[in-house]
């Protein structure tokens, strides 16, 4: 498993992975995904197994020294093999290296697997946002303070 930065020709594969990871209304359109990645405060990390992309994470830097996780997606067949851990460690290390103070994210209230994943990494729920997703699902807001 190998971590590397995003390349423009990855976009279609990332879109297909996102479509496979989330139901319509939570997954991003091709245009949304392209815009998140292209944003000038955004970082994207890729994990490859051989020459296959098996996971990615997009995050953007926000005011008040916060890194916001836009999405983290791991192909189903590669889950529970530490791909998500590799991606979160990369984002957290990057944020610490730039003196950021906190990481924040939203996750669907019924996404128990993701909530457990984040909790196992020290994230705690601080809020919820009714109707956050296009399909009406409530989001949990979770954060982790960085030392």
Ligand X SMILES: CC(C)(COP(=O)(O)OP(=O)(O)OC[C@H]1O[C@@H](n2cnc3c(N)ncnc32)[C@H](O)[C@@H]1OP(=O)(O)O)[C@@H](O)C(=O)NCCC(=O)NCCS
Q: What is the dihedral of CA 89, 91, 95, 96, to 10 degrees?
A: 10
Distance of closest approach, residue 115 Cβ to ligand X, in angstroms: 8
Annotate 85-111 with b (16+ C-beta within 10 A) or e (fewer).
ebbbebbbeebeeeebeebbbbbbbeb
Q: Nearer Cβ to ligand X, position 61 or 85?
A: 85
Q: Does 74 bind ligand X (CB under 6 A)?
A: yes
**Sole binder of ligand X in the list 117, 123, 132, 140 (CB under 6 A):** 117
Cα maximum dimension of the chain:
40
What binding mask, one character per residue, do residues 4-33 give for ligand X by CB under 6 A, x or -?
-----------------x------------
**28 close to 19: Cβ distance less than 8 angstroms:** no
**Sole binder of ligand X in the list 30, 39, 79, 96 (CB under 6 A):** 79
- The contact set with ligand X (CB under 6 A) reads 21, 72-74, 79-85, 105, 107, 111, 113-114, 116-117, 120
């Amino acid at each position: 498993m190998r971590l590397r930065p995003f390349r423009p020709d990855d976009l279609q594969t990332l879109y297909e992975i996102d479509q496979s990871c989330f139901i319509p209304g939570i997954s991003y359109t091709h245009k949304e995904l392209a815009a998140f990645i292209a944003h000038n405060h955004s970082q994207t990390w890729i994990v490859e197994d051989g020459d296959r992309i098996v996971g990615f994470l997009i995050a953007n830097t926000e005011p008040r020294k916060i890194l916001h996780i836009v999405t983290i997606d791991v192909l189903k067949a590669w889950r529970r093999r530490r791909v998500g851990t590799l991606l979160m460690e990369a984002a957290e290390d990057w944020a610490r290296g730039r003196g950021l103070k906190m990481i924040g994210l939203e996750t669907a209230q019924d996404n128990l697997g993701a909530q457990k994943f984040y909790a196992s990494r020290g994230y705690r729920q601080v809020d919820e946002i009714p109707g956050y997703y296009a399909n009406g699902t409530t989001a949990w807001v979770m954060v982790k303070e960085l030392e």
